[in-house]
């Protein structure tokens, strides 16, 4: 067994890590986790914290579920998965409250709602239940990174045009405002997040023709 062990970052494992960033992106391709993508992307900072939180939950959860996969009775697997997610989310919530209280307040209920993020349950079911812990870990990191990437892109545009700031710093010069420029209020409203995600999907699909289904 030990002599045919594959290396930690074999081509297969690298693929687990990288495809969720583009071809298997949880948001733009699988269209999961949309609700939090709309809710937390008004500003970059909360979006980044959210992405990191989901990454922590998904990576650790994937490893745990993968390690337990042979002992979980199939009939109660959803309950077990939920217990794992819920405990991890509570941990993340406590850590956020302890170290970045302001952002934790901004994210408010959405940290708790990581439990209902479809990406997490989806990866547990689709991957962790049938794979070893290390690949499951990479899969968790990869998918959370794909999720986080879109979150950050969306938040970048929404914060830049909606509030004129990036990471809380003013980037649009005062001169613009004196010339009559105004921040776009629609960018702060959730529909615009959906439209920005839509535009990202449009760009991605027109660049990568493989993604277009046959009619």
Q: Which chain residues interact with another protein by CB under 8 A?
A: 180-182, 184-187, 189, 195, 198-199, 202
Residues 6+ apart with CB under 8 A from 69: 128, 129, 130
In angstroms, what is the minimal distance from the CB of 199 to another protein?
A: 8
Sign of CA dihedral 124, 129, 133, 134: negative
- Our CB check for another protein shows the closer of 87 and 184 to be 184
- Nearest residue (CB) to another protein, 134 versus 161: 161
Contacts of 153 (CB under 8 A, 6+ apart): 196, 200
Closest approach, Cβ 198 to another protein, in A, equals 7
Pairing type for strands 169-170 and 165-166 reads: antiparallel
Smallest distance from another protein to CB 196, Å: 10
Backbone CA torsion sign across 30, 63, 61, 74: positive
In this complex, which beta carbon is closest to another protein, that of residue 108 or of residue 174?
Answer: 174
User: What is the closest distance, in whole angstroms, from the C-beta atom of residue 182 to another protein in the complex?
Assistant: 6
Structure token digits, residue 177: 């405002």
CA neighbor of 58 nearest in space, from 29, 36, 74, 39: 36
What's the min distance (Å) between Cβ of 151 and another protein?
A: 21
β-strand partners of 170: 165
Task: Indicate the residue among 43 and 123 with the shorter CB distance to another protein.
Answer: 43
Residue closer to another protein by CB (options 117, 163) is: 163
Cα 138 to Cα 64: distance, rounded to the nearest angstrom:
13
The smaller minimum CB distance to another protein, of residues 74 and 180, is found at 180
The beta strands (E) that lie in the chain are given as 165-166, 169-170
d(CA 63, CA 58): 9
Least distance from C-beta 157 to another protein, angstroms? 14
């Amino acid at each position: 067994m030990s002599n045919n062990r594959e290396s930690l970052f074999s081509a297969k494992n690298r693929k687990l890590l990288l495809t969720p960033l583009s071809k298997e992106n949880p948001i733009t391709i699988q269209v999961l986790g949309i609700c939090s993508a709309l809710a937390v992307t008004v500003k970059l900072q909360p979006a980044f914290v959210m992405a990191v939180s989901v990454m922590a939950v998904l990576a650790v959860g994937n490893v745990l579920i993968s390690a337990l996969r042979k002992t979980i009775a199939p009939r109660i697997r959803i309950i077990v998965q939920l217990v794992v997610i819920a405990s991890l989310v509570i941990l993340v919530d406590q850590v956020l409250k302890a170290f970045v209280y302001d952002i934790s307040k901004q994210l408010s209920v959405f940290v708790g709602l990581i439990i209902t993020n479809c990406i997490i349950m989806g990866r547990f079911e689709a991957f962790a239940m049938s794979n070893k812990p290390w690949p499951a870990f990479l899969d968790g990191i990869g998918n959370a990174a794909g999720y986080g990437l879109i979150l950050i892109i969306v938040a970048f545009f929404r914060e830049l045009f909606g509030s004129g700031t990036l990471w809380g710093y003013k980037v649009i010069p005062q001169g613009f405002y004196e010339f009559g420029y105004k921040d776009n209020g629609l960018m702060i409203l959730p529909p615009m997040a959906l439209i920005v995600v839509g535009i990202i999907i449009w760009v991605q699909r027109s660049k990568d023709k493989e993604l277009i289904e046959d009619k």
